[in-house]
Amino acid sequence: MGTLEKHLRARRDSGRKLLMPYVSGGITDDWLDVIRAYDDAGADAVEVGIPFSDPVMDGPTIQAANDQALRRGATPISILSELQGLDVSIPLIAMTYANIPYRMGYRRFVEELGRAGVHGAIIPDIPLEELDPWEEAVGDADVDTVMLASPISSDERLRRLTARSRGFVYGVNVLGVTGERADVGAWTADLAGRLKQVTDLPVVMGFGISSPETAAAAAAPSDGVIVASAIMRLLLDGGSALDAGAFVARLRDAIDTAL
């Protein structure tokens, strides 16, 4: 079992709900401080976005965060290099689109993740149908490939994709792209429940979670939540790493209090 999965399972099994905030790599000068602030605020893992020019699963806020990072000159290698030796206590997960690892070469990309101390990868446009070459490149490297599940995935597909997911399974709350929503919608409990029936991997829900209330609501039927757009908007609006950390601390309180 990989480092990421071991860590998340241990925390989940101790009765804790998992909280995984996101940051677009290179979005600000002090983006590494954002990760440190997440760690201090009680995050269980951090999703680090490696920007791609054409992110079809992302709404306007993550697009803007990625554009800002690209304008500042961020590249896949610059982001991963900056992560090397980062002094945090929680695992890092890379989130990107297929062409970024494809251009570098899947195998080299996996090596670079290893060098950067990244223990997971989320690549939404590599579904089961295209997974073989990627899995082969990962081999026995300590990088967990996290698969995404959609509200309209059949139970049969949920079985197949959780069988190949490592670290956790990413339940997508909504039909749609990333972005803040007023409530988490009708799909969350159904999808989390269906995932729970086919896997004992941690089930972590994301998309549309933008407040302490929505975080607590989505964490209730699942093992935890991923929060991205709400924090990126805060950073895009000029918020500091400490502001981002404070927001994550509020999310932490909300999901812990709801327990």
Residues that bind another protein (CB under 8 A): 52-57, 59-60, 63, 67, 70, 75-77, 97-100, 102-104, 124-130, 147-154, 157, 161, 172, 174-177
What does the alpha-carbon distance between residue 189 and residue 191 come to, in Å, rounded to a whole number? 6
Smaller CB separation from another protein, 83 or 254: 83
Beta strands in 36-174 (DSSP E): 46-49, 92-95, 118-122, 144-149, 169-172
Q: Helix, strand, coil % (nearest 5) of the chain?
A: 50, 15, 35
Alpha carbon dihedral 174, 176, 182, 188, in 10-degree steps, equals 0
Tokens of 44: 């269980």
Smaller CB separation from another protein, 124 or 212: 124
Query: Shortest gap between Cβ of 177 and another protein (angstroms)?
Result: 5
| Residue 151 CB neighbours (<10 A) | 18
AA letter at 168:
F
- List 5, 39, 44, 47, catalytic entry: 47
What does the alpha-carbon distance between residue 136 and residue 107 come to, in Å, rounded to a whole number? 9
DSSP state of 238: T
Phi, psi of 128, rounded to the nearest 5 degrees: -50, -40
Smaller CB separation from another protein, 77 or 258: 77
AA letter at 119:
H
Query: Shortest gap between Cβ of 57 and another protein (angstroms)?
Result: 5
Query: Shortest gap between Cβ of 132 and another protein (angstroms)?
Result: 11
Instruction: Give the residue among 23, 26, 21 at the shortest CA–CA distance from 41.
Output: 21
Query: Shortest gap between Cβ of 41 and another protein (angstroms)?
Result: 29
Annotated catalytic, 47?
yes
Smaller CB separation from another protein, 41 or 191: 191
What does the alpha-carbon distance between residue 202 and residue 194 come to, in Å, rounded to a whole number? 13
DSSP state of 201: S
Query: Shortest gap between Cβ of 11 and another protein (angstroms)?
Result: 25
- List 5, 39, 44, 58, catalytic entry: 58
Smaller CB separation from another protein, 16 or 157: 157
Annotated catalytic, 111?
no
Q: Which residues are catalytic?
A: 47, 58
